[in-house]
Structure 1
Amino acid sequence: MDKALSVRLLRDMLLIRKVEEGIAERYPQGKMRCPTHLSIGQEAAAVAVGAALETADLAISTHRAHAHYLAKGGRAPQMLAEIYGKVTGCCRGRGGSMHLTDRTAGFVGSTAIVGNSLPIGTGLALSLQLKKSRQIAAIFFGDGCTEEGAFYESANFAIVRNLPALFVCENNLYSVYSPLSVRQPAGREIYKMVQGLGMPSAIVDGNDIDAAYAAAMAAIEHVRSGKGPFFLELTTYRWREHCGPNFDNDIGYRTEEEFLAWKARDPVASYEARLQQQGVPTEELAALHTQLDAEVLAAFEFAETSPFPDQSEAFSDVYTDKEVSPS
């Protein structure tokens, strides 16, 4: 992997980390009046796939969408303005944290309903196939979604129709507070289960961005070359609570020892250390931090100083003003 790509991967991970740490720091102020699901600790998985995709490719995500949105090329100021409910937000302040869209980046949207990204993403892949496009659809979801009927229906349809769909499962071991051990039978490996459905699959350490990027590139090549859908499982771990800015190890669903073991595998810090060992100058990395700190601060200032939507817009883009004739 060349230096330029390596630095880009680090930059994208740092951007996500700094934006979300900024959200966590400011959330108690009460200005972000929507739930937020942070991806701190999981940045490498999102960035690896986002960097491997082309801008024209389409992506759909879940309630935990900030990292996917930014990694796909979404804009931090517009994302933060959306979370603050401002008119300058990527959805004009109507969607909040869980409903992000940026069509210029190929980020079609995110949805709060568990498993709902799957049928939407499968439909996107079908539309691309019907258009005979070389684009693919990347569908982000968590391990909990593999227990939803929507997953099996979407996977089956994608296999039967040979759709250009990349199924990206971020396995962070928990569905809210429930570990895999109480949700799935002992010994089950998700990617192998998917192979049993007839979809090629692979698993990779989602905290090792070089490995995850290589796996994403191979999976995307499979899909783009017309060989049908591919399932990529990325193992990772969220540091903070399921929903909100805090740490929640004290409530007992996971141990402090487990948390610290995963925290020691911090994908951002470990990759920065690796680049230093490979000869990237310390001064260059320090300058990158300084630049991103300024960008993130400016993005928050943009969000906080932007106006709220006017009351007159409350029903704009909600209902159509066109009459629909009965068929």
Structure 2
Amino acid sequence: MQLPRDALLRAYRRMATIRRFEERLHDEITSGEIPGFTHLYCGQEAAAVGVCEHLDDDDMIVSTHRGHGHCIAKGCDVIGMMKEIYGRRDGLCKGRGGSMHIADTSIGMLGANGIVGAGAPQAVGAAISAKLDGKGKVAIAFSGDGACNQGTTFEAMNMAVVLKVPAIFVFENNHYSEHTGYQYAVGTSHDIASRAEAFGMKAWRADGCDFFSTHDAMRDLLAHVRAGNGPAAIELDTERFYGHFEGDPQRYRGKGELDRIREERDALKIFRTAVGEAALLDAADLDAIDAEVADLIDRAVTEARAAPLSSPEHVLEDVYAEY
């Protein structure tokens, strides 16, 4: 199904924002201003945006330690995110979550998570609430080829099937669980989606470096889940351009591997080629978005640097939920 022009421009803007945001973090982390571990999402932009372009604020997602892309794709404020990563008082989580714990429940972003595989049970809980609410909403657990080996993920998939809730398990297979290749670590013929099928749910597979492949597969998957057929899963074959964490020397990569994937599997290049060949968008339209996004990220860094840090008197705030 061909998307309208405004939808294509929005999708590219979100992918370009993820790319520029992450590349700027890569540069800024060397300054020592950003505390804590950071795991960059560069290369996987088409996966996050291809999934989240189908969602609204009432649909819920749970992210991972590599969560910036999911946050931006779901609509989190980019300047608030940058302030959060810088540990500032007016960040999205008041500077207390940092890179791995960004959340904005007002738009259905239930939080990133530093524990591998911990998001799946949370998404099932959210899916139970969505089923009880009866408004056709869904809850999505993003995870990777590492989380597919976790018992929490298995238990969550089983519970989702038993309770027939609208939970969706998105496995972004970027080929490395930290530093271990999935060919070695995943025992199901290198096929993560088949694990979900074994629990009794329907599973899709798509190219996670191609926005259109991901978007089309998610359209069909969401129609299936929103119709009341219970949970589903999708495996997205994708790539990460940087290491598992910032500072990872990536000695586990093959010779020329990064050069190859940046040339052949760059989600933004693939999108530009597709819309150009189909005469859907002009290069000038996309170049203008790139310039606007660059200005936005520059402003986000400037404002984050100038924003105040939390003070000791705030340490006991938000320890408990207030009703």
Normalised by the length of structure 2, the TM-score is 0.95
Q: Share of identical aligned residues, percent?
A: 33
Q: Which of 173, 184, 206 lines up with 1:204 in the alignment?
A: 206
Which residue is 1:325 aligned to?
none
Match of 2:291 in 1: 290
1:66 Cα deviation after fit: 0.2
Which of 150-159 and 187-196 deviates more? 187-196
- For the 8 Å contact 1:192–1:201, the answer to whether it is kept is yes
Check whether the contact 2:50–2:215 (CA below 8 A) recurs between aligned residues: yes
Report the Cα distance in structure 1 between the residues aligned to 2:239 and 2:21, rounded to whole angstroms. 18
| Cross-structure match for 2:257 | 258
Q: Deviations over 1:129-183 (max 9, x none)?
A: 1222321101101111111100110000000100011111101111110112331
Deviations 1:217-270 (A, max 9, x none): 1111111111110101101011111011x5734x2x121333232222101122
> Are the counterparts in 1 of residues 12 and 286 from structure 2 also a CA contact under 8 Å?
no
Residue type at the aligned position of 2:316: F
Indicate the SS of the match to 2:228: helix
AA matched with 1:182: Y
Write out aligned runs for 1:153-232 (5 A). 153-185=155-187, 187-232=189-234
Q: What is the letter of the counterpart of residue 309 of structure 1?
A: S
In 1, Cα distance between equivalents of 2:317 and 2:49: 34
Which of 221, 235, 238 is the aligned partner of 1:236?
A: 238
- Asked if structure 2 preserves the Cα contact closer than 8 Å seen for 1:142 and 1:171, the reply is yes
1:255 counterpart letter in structure 2: G
Contact 2:146-2:177 at 8 Å conserved across structures: yes
One-letter amino acid of the structure 2 residue matched with residue 263 of structure 1: R
SS at structure 2 position matched to 1:231: strand
Give, in angstroms, the shift of residue 311 of structure 1. Answer: 1.3
SS of residue matched to 1:167: strand
Match for 1:312: what amino acid?
E
Amino acid at match of 1:296: I
Q: Which residue of 1 aligns with 2:66?
A: 64
Letter in 1 for 2:266: D
Q: Secondary structure of the residue that 1:110 maps to in structure 2? A: coil
Give the structure 2 partner of residue 93 of structure 1.
Answer: 95
Aligned to 1:306: 307
* Cα deviation, residue 319, structure 1: 4.6
- Counterpart in 2 of 1:152? 154
Report the CA distance shift for 1:149/1:274 in structure 2 as closer, same or farther (over 3 A). Answer: same
Counterpart for residue 8 of structure 2: 6
Amino acid of the structure 2 residue aligned with 1:273 = T
Q: What is the CA distance between 1:283 and its match in structure 2?
A: 2.4
- In 1, Cα distance between equivalents of 2:159 and 2:203: 16
Superposed CA RMSD in Å reads: 1.6
After superposition, give the CA deviation of every residue in 1:184-237 in whole Å (9 maximum; x if it has no partner): 237241112221211100111101110100111111111111111010110101
Query: For 1:274-303, what per-residue CA distance to the aligned partner results, in whole angstroms no more than 9, with x for missing partners?
Result: 323333223222211111111111111121
Which position in structure 1 is the counterpart of 2:317?
316
**In the alignment, residue 58 of structure 1 is paired with which amino acid?**
M
Change (3 A) 1:258 1:314: same
Equivalence for 2:130: 128
- Normalising by structure 1, we get a TM-score of 0.93
For 1:288, the aligned partner's letter is I
Q: 2-side partners of 1:72 and 1:283: how far apart?
A: 26
State which drifts further: 269-278 or 54-63.
269-278
Quick one: distance in 2 between partners of 1:100 and 1:118? 17
Alignment partner, residue 117 of structure 1? 119
Q: Is the 8 Å Cα contact of residues 53 and 220 (structure 1) preserved in structure 2?
A: no
Q: Is the 8 A contact 2:136 2:226 kept in 1?
A: yes
Deviation, 1:321, is 9.3
What is the distance in 1 between the residues matched to 2:123 and 2:283?
Answer: 41
Residue pair 1:58, 1:137 contacting (<8 A) in 2 also: yes
Separation of aligned partners in 1, 2:188 and 2:202: 22
Q: Distance in 2 between matches of 1:311 and 1:185?
A: 49
